[in-house]
Chain A
Amino acid sequence: MSQAVVEPQREHYLNVSYGVTSWLFTTDHKRIALLYLATITLLFFVGGAAAVLMRLELITPPGDLVQSEIYNRLFTIHGVIMIFFFLIPSIPAVLGNFLVPMMIGARDLAFPRLNLASWYLFTVGSVFTLVVVVVGGVDTGWTFYTPYSSTYSNSYVVPTIAGIFVAGFSSILTGLNFIVTIHTMRAPGLTWFRLPLFIWSHYATSMIIILGTPVVAIALTLVALERAFGIGIFDPALGGDPILFQHLFWFYSHPAVYIMVLPAMGVVSELIAAFSRKRIFGYSFIAFSSIAIAVLGFFVWGHHMFVSGQSVYASMIFSFLSMLVAIPSAIKVFNWTATLYKGSISYQAPMLYALGFIGLFTIGGLTGLFVASLGVDVHVHDTYFVVAHFHYIMVGGTVMAYLGGIHYWWPKISGRMYPEGWAKFSALLIFVGFNLTFFPQFLLGYLGMPRRYHFYVDEFQVLNVMSSAGASILGVGYVVPLIYLIWAMRYAPPAGPNPWRAVGLEWQTPSPPPTHNFERTPVVTQPAYAYGTQEEDIKGGR
């Protein structure tokens, strides 16, 4: 990586210095983004390996591949790693870190050293947790429901919680950094309504992170305290209330879904605009729908508890508010679709991912209405229907957008063009593999197969076999980009500053960018996505 020199005569952030210390002590947001990229890629494949083992186990009804203790550890590894250490940091910490300063014409984030500290906190927390869950093992599921987690589980609950707790601070500090940067470091002329939607969605995400993360940190700390010292918060045998934990946990963990999906929406807005060469249709509606989702997202947590015995009136309010989230989500989907109207659409890999996102997110969002409808949720709650629903949002949505974004900005990040044919092929593999994995799970769930079942009754087998077959295709689809993107960093042809002929400040600087991003501070005179108004600039970029 350190030898990826595109133009030997030009200095950029990758060749400005060499050696391990130049990376470990960097305060350059672009290098920190790559540090995050390496860390979360490792974690993604560990979490993915756990999923592969689960899908192998579920090919046959009896529990014959691994023991129950192991299976329960596998789904906990999968959930904890994928949620806390991959999906939540994925787009913000990698693409956000790289792009927020570049998109607003700044030299770096507001607090570069804090940014590096965030990566250290994340790495310490994630590596520690990784070792604990893989070597020691924890079997509570990523949800840590009490009193199982606080009293009954015989596994490494407290160390796992400690790791998540530490990584949570990384999240909070990154959110803080983004908010301050977006407020104070925009280039001259870059008013709020000229900001790319990527920035709007990261702003909304940062608000959720800052307000929500402390709550889950507190909830998990209380679990650890109850486990270690027997203070009676959640265990009814100690006078506590197990449902209280669910309130605290979902107060963060539902908005956490929006931490994962809002940045993805930001990426998709960029991709749709660039590959149709169109201004985003209904810019301000998309911008404010991000804020609406962030705000509403904090008032829907009770929809995870419709069968917990909570008051029927509380359930009604949570159901109503959850339904409302459909409106801003629909606004986005309709506006993206409308953006394509009379556009000039090209189909490079990032656009395939963006279109895949729209389709899969639409299915994920609509099935969210099933689980928000009280009467139907009673039946599908805690079944594979829910599993399928949230994978459509998190994998079909967030991971598709993340990969689309990685491909789109890879020329900027590495200075080199990825191989387009391979990229299209793997995008297709992922789309097909994903649907084959998760669509059967909707049917399984409505049939009544509960989640977190190590073995199951015979009549569920056919759908499980389909799901496992899909998972193997999906797995290959994820490994292929890993190989060619690393290959491309070194051997692919140089990309030039603006291979997509896209507008946006990040494309107005060389690839890879110099350490301080811009030779001169750019002055912005136009709204975002000003396609069709500055043709000369676009042509000049290449």
Chain B
Amino acid sequence: MWSDFPLFPDQASTIAGRVDALYFYLVAVSVFFVSLIFLLLLIFAVKYRRRSEDEQPRPILANLPLEVAWMIIPFILVMIMFTWGASLYFTTARPPTDALEVFVIGKQWMWKFQHPEGRREINELHVPVGYPVRLTITSQDVIHSVYVPAFRIKMDAVPGRYTATWFEATKTGTFHLFCAEYCGTVHPGMIGRVVVMTPTEYEQWLRTGAAAEPLAAAGRQLFQQLGCSGCHSPNSTVRAPLLEGLYGRPVPLQSGGVVIADEGYIRDSILLPQKDIVAGYAPVMPSFQGRVSEEELMQIIAYIRSLGRETPESREAAR
């Protein structure tokens, strides 16, 4: 058991070194204060030990400058921790816009991944080194949590909503993928690995395996099969909002508010259509709860997102 005994995790993402830097600052502050307190306790313990039973030291009440000093100094030190930690957090919370995108679904007790090009995998995630990768995460049962220690990232997979995180791997290799949120009997078995490859190997890998169509194309098929296109099209008799260019746009609601049309909004509109009615439209859409799986939802969302990136003309041309 001594052969493989690491005391520090791999650094394999762009953020890992930055997290570790803050960690070392925290360690340094902690070591300083723990040493200070232990040293003082030790010195006082020896120097002021009771020498006779009747000894009675003179009372010392308080010292205002001292009290203020040990309020101000820790305050400054923790504010550094706060701002440093918050800036890192903002980095992990804001994926670059050009990131590759992988959809992640947690279920008891496995991880399912869908690449936009159509490849799917279970408990294994292949990514290219040196490219930012955004994970859009959900769960189809209880809460799970995607955790890759070597990348210093973690994000809960919450049923009923999408969460996101991202990373950019800095070296090739295989890294642990853990579920960090307790999710039932085989929680510790819900583990897998992230395989970081060179971009050429990754391209190759994408092309091998069972031929699958890209997510957006699969989504378009579903869009027609489920009858969505019957209403959400310019020549429909039912008045439904058109979805071209919808993704990422602010949508005015009947209730007076405005929401940004992100993955969560599109998901809710499919499963809970009465929740956010678009201003000027009648609440006529039926719910698709129970009729589409999490995977299919992600495909439909990928399709709707793809509409936002093209004009209707270019879509016609692509057909």
Contacts and interface: CB of A to CB of B under 8 A. Distances in A.
Given A331-B70, A458-B4, A148 B182 contact: yes
Interface stretch (B156-164, B197-205, B216-224, B276-284): B156-164
Interface of A: 63, 68-69, 72, 139, 141, 143, 145, 147-148, 151-153, 235-237, 239, 241-243, 276-279, 281-285, 306-309, 312, 315-316, 319-320, 323-324, 326-327, 330-331, 333-335, 337-338, 340-347, 355, 358-359, 362-363, 366-367, 369-370, 372-379, 381-383, 443, 446-448, 450-459, 461-462, 465, 530-533, 535
11 contacts: A153-B184, A236-B161, A309-B156, A309-B161, A309-B163, A378-B89, A379-B154, A446-B9, A447-B6, A453-B187, A455-B188
B186 interface: yes
A334 B74 CA distance: 11
B184 A382 contact: no
A334 B9 CA distance: 34
Nearest to B79: A323
Contacts of B18: 375
B145 A373 contact: no
B279 to A, nearest CB: 23
Contact of B85 (A279, A308, A347, A374): A374
A279 to B, nearest CB: 4
A211 B33 CA distance: 34
A323 B78 contact: yes
A448 B178 contact: yes
Contacts of A316: 86, 89
Nearest to A443: B7
A379 B15 CA distance: 11
Given A151-B142, A241-B160, A362-B33, 13 more contacts: A68-B188, A236-B160, A239-B272, A276-B48, A362-B34, A366-B26, A366-B30, A369-B30, A378-B153, A451-B182, A531-B57, A532-B56, A532-B59
B1 interface: yes
Interface in B3-60: 4-9, 18-19, 22-23, 26, 29-30, 33-34, 37-38, 40-41, 44-45, 48-51, 55-60
Nearest to A285: B67
Contact of B74 (A283, A327, A452): A327
Given A236-B160, A338-B66, A448 B147 contact: yes
B155 interface: yes
A377 B85 contact: yes
Contacts of B186: 68
The contact size tier of chain B is: 35 or more
A351 to B, nearest CB: 9
B182 A462 contact: no
Interface string B116-149: 0000000000000000000000000111010101
B80 to A, nearest CB: 10
B172 interface: no
Which of A340, A344, A378, A535 is the most central at the interface, judged by chain B CB atoms within 10 Å of its CB? A378
A456 B21 CA distance: 27
A453 B188 contact: yes
Main SS at interface, chain B: mixed
A39 B111 CA distance: 44
B74 A330 contact: yes
Contact of A375 (B29, B50, B92): B92
B185 A373 contact: no
A342 B183 contact: no
Given A145-B182, A147-B159, A458-B1, A342 B108 contact: no
A373 B85 contact: yes
Interface of B: 1-2, 4-9, 18-19, 22-23, 26, 29-30, 33-34, 37-38, 40-41, 44-45, 48-51, 55-63, 66-67, 70-71, 74-75, 78-79, 81-82, 84-93, 108, 141-143, 145, 147, 149-150, 152-156, 158-161, 163, 176, 178-189, 191, 272
Nearest to A450: B180
Contacts of B108: 152
Contacts of A284: 62
**Which 8 pairs of residues, A with B, have the shortest CB-CB distance?**
A448-B149, A236-B160, A375-B88, A373-B85, A374-B89, A309-B163, A453-B188, A340-B44
Given A68-B185, A375-B92, A447 B149 contact: yes
Contacts, number: 286
Nearest to B39: A337
Contact of A447 (B8, B23, B70, B90): B8
A330 B160 CA distance: 41
Main SS at interface, chain A: helix
Nearest to B146: A307
Contacts of A346: 49-50
Contacts of B38: 359
A369 B90 CA distance: 18
Contacts of B184: 72, 139, 148, 152-153
A378 B8 contact: no
A473 B60 CA distance: 39
A344 B52 CA distance: 9
Nearest to A282: B62
Contact of B89 (A315, A355, A359): A315
B196 to A, nearest CB: 16
Nearest to B85: A373
B185 A307 contact: no
Which of B48, B59, B142, B180 is the most central at the interface, judged by chain A CB atoms within 10 Å of its CB? B59
Contacts of B179: 450
Given A312-B90, A375-B19, A447-B7, A307 B49 contact: no
A305 to B, nearest CB: 9
A345 B45 contact: yes
Contacts of B41: 337, 340, 355, 358-359
B60 A341 contact: yes
Nearest to B157: A309
B301 to A, nearest CB: 17
Nearest to A355: B41
Contact of B142 (A148, A308, A337): A148
Contacts of B160: 236-237, 241-242
A337 B40 contact: yes
A278 B60 contact: yes
Given A241-B160, A327-B74, A344-B55, A450 B23 contact: no
B142 A147 contact: yes
Given A241-B160, A358-B37, A446-B8, A369 B26 contact: yes
A237 to B, nearest CB: 7
A462 B86 CA distance: 34
A139 B184 CA distance: 7
A369 B34 CA distance: 13
A528 B199 CA distance: 71
Contacts of A326: 74, 78
B187 A452 contact: yes
A301 to B, nearest CB: 16
Contacts of A68: 185-186, 188-189
Given A139-B184, A152-B108, A375-B19, A281 B89 contact: no
Nearest to A448: B149
